[in-house]
């Protein structure tokens, strides 16, 4: 696996008092400092094309305050497509809202693969992480990034890859795990708030979406449900959430949750993994989307667990899932 310790765990744990520890993700100390226990290493962009995919990438700043940045990806240009407009994917990385990065190895090789297969321009958003910046900071940062992308057709944006190669009538949003949760919440927000210039969200993909609730569904274990790691992470990253783990932000079918008929996209793809503890929520979500009148479909990968396509990137199942995502974006 491509895990790497981000700090000296042994030293920190012997000199500070732990306030919260959620293994294997994060440790928070009583002095407010945070220790992220795993993540993939930060890697540079490839402005002169990735040698395996031909995809170019570049890092840009969207906002200084709050601090929002992104890694942009451009598919390989050829004489046949150099004047073509490509769909735009605004992507939100996973990591339980508290670890990982748009600049990490996991995100970088994943986006290289998607961009090369789907021929899309991608904007992978680097948002502020909890618990230093609790939710809704991530949602606000990602909405600001989406607004920044949408500002380009009206002449307010200056990013040449978007201006010269982006098709603003085909904007997709998508993410994995907590990033999929973010994509869902932004798709709902897009149904009530306009983007600059009347730009619309054309489609969304939610890969192994991070949804939960106080009551188990389907095959979810009833024992320790509300004390599961999934529940405890939510309490850490959004301690002020109205309704706790039944917040509409976390439980799309909890008390007061808006109707999925309000999703601001024409089509939706939900990807789930057979052994993932979040599987039932993803399937239920897609079923409810279809009941509300939207075009929703589920793609399930058998025999795999949560985020398998990052941890085991070269496997046939990972390649099949990325191929399905690319097909959806074409």
Active site residues: 177, 276
Nearest-angstrom CA–CA distance, 324 and 229:
29
**How long, in residues, is the chain?**
330
Strand segments, DSSP code E, in the chain are 18-22, 26-29, 34-36, 56-63, 68-74, 86-92, 121-126, 166-176, 201-207, 267-273, 295-301
Query: Kindly report the CA angle at 278 between 249 and 144, in degrees rounded to 5?
Result: 35
CB 127 within 8 A of CB 90: no
Nearest-angstrom CA–CA distance, 126 and 123:
9
- Interacting residues of 190 by C-beta distance below 8 A, sequence separation 6+: 146, 200, 201, 263, 264, 265
**Taking Cα atoms as reference points, which of 213, 217, 292 lies closest to residue 256?**
213
3-state secondary structure of 176: strand
Which residues share a beta bridge with 60? 70
Which residues share a beta bridge with 61? 69
Q: How far is CA 26 from the centre of its chain?
A: 19
Q: What are phi and psi of 62, to 5 degrees?
A: -95, -40
């Amino acid at each position: 696996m491509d895990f790497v310790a981000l700090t000296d765990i042994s030293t920190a744990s012997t000199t500070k008092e732990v306030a919260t520890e959620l293994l294997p993700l994060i440790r928070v100390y009583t002095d407010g400092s945070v220790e992220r226990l795993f993540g993939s290493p930060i890697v540079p962009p490839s402005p002169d094309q990735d040698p395996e995919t031909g995809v170019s990438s570049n890092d840009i700043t969207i906002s200084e305050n709050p601090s929002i940045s992104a890694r942009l990806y451009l598919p390989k240009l050829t004489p046949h497509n150099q004047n073509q407009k490509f769909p735009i994917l605004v992507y939100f990385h996973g990591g339980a809202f508290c670890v990982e990065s748009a600049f990490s190895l996991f995100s970088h090789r994943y986006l290289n693969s998607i961009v090369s297969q789907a021929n899309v321009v991608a904007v992978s958003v680097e948002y502020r992480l909890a618990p230093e910046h609790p939710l809704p900071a991530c949602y606000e940062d990602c909405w600001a990034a989406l607004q920044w992308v949408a500002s380009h057709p009206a002449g307010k944006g200056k990013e040449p890859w978007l201006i010269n190669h982006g098709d603003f009538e085909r904007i997709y949003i998508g993410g994995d795990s907590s990033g999929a949760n973010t994509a869902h919440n932004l798709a709902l927000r897009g149904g009530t708030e306009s983007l600059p210039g009347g730009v619309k969200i054309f489609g969304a993909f939610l890969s192994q979406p991070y949804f939960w609730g106080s009551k188990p569904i389907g095959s979810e274990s009833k024992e320790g449900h509300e004390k599961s790691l999934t529940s405890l992470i939510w309490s850490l990253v959004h301690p002020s959430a109205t309704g706790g783990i039944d917040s509409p932000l976390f439980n799309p079918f909890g008390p007061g949750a808006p109707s999925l008929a309000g999703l601001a996209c024409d089509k939706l793809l939900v990807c789930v993994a057979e052994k993932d503890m979040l599987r039932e929520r993803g399937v239920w979500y897609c079923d409810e989307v279809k009941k509300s009148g939207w075009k929703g479909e589920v793609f399930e990968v058998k025999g795999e667990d949560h985020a398998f396509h990052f941890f085991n990137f070269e496997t046939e199942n990972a390649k099949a899932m990325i191929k399905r995502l690319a097909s959806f974006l074409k």
